[in-house]
Amino acid sequence: MSARRIWIGAAGIALVAALCTLIPRLSLKLEPAAAAVARSQAPASSLAATAAASPSPSAGAEEPSHLADGLNSPTGDVHADLRIINGIFNAYRSALRNGNPVGENSEITAALTGKNRLGFAFIPKDCPAINSKGELCDRWGKPYFFHQISGERMEIRSAGPDMKLWTPDDEVLTP
């Protein structure tokens, strides 16, 4: 094993130990959408530091998450949407420390909108990208397809402009 891999592993363990100490002491306060978009491809470690940034002004009151603010924005594109969703999954994994949410789209969306052990909504329940069935949808109004590759990796698939999954125009992000 190379010295670089050993160093990376040691740094990861130190980061996890620091987060295990800090997160219980701090309430979650997630970053504004502009910073979330800029960091959506950053490693989970940098998002974890952001997710555990500073305490909320009053006990019990949480500032709403802004991670999904740019989702399906007319100024963005499907690639930006996929990166935003990946950033939300990174923040979820970092905050809950137990991997990705599991299930169908509606179950995963429920976990991201607050039905998790922290009760924290990484995506507001009234997010315009959530349809009446509680599914997170792409810019064409079709539910995303989520495929959990591992506890730390989630493939995110948009049906694309033809609005049909598994066709050549699908847009996929596989971290």
Domain coverage including residue 88: 3-173
Whether 29 contacts 122, CB under 8 Å: no
Task: Give the Å distances, CA to CA, from 65 to 15, 74, 104, 125.
Answer: 23, 20, 22, 10
What does the pLDDT profile of the chain (175 residues) look like in tens digits? 566 666 676 665 755 555 555 455 444 443 444 444 444 444 444 444 444 443 333 344 567 889 999 999 999 999 999 999 999 999 999 999 989 999 999 999 999 999 999 999 999 999 999 999 999 999 999 999 999 999 899 999 999 999 999 999 999 999 9
pTM of the model: 0.66
> Distance between CA atoms of 139 and 107, rounded to whole angstroms?
20
Beta carbons within 10 angstroms of residue 69's beta carbon: 17
Half-sphere exposure (CA, 13 Å, Cβ side) for 29? 14
> Distance between CA atoms of 30 and 73, rounded to whole angstroms?
19
Q: What is the 3-state secondary structure (H, E, C) of the chain?
A: CCHHHHHHHHHHHHHHHHHHHHHHHCCCECCCHHHHHHHCCCCHHHHHHHHECCCCCCCCCCCCCCCCCCCCCCCCCHHHHHHHHHHHHHHHHHHHCCCCCCCCHHHHHHHHCCCCCCCCCCCCCCCCCECCCCCEECCCCCECEEEEEECCEEEEEECCCCCCCCCCCCEEECC
Q: How many domains, the chain?
A: 1
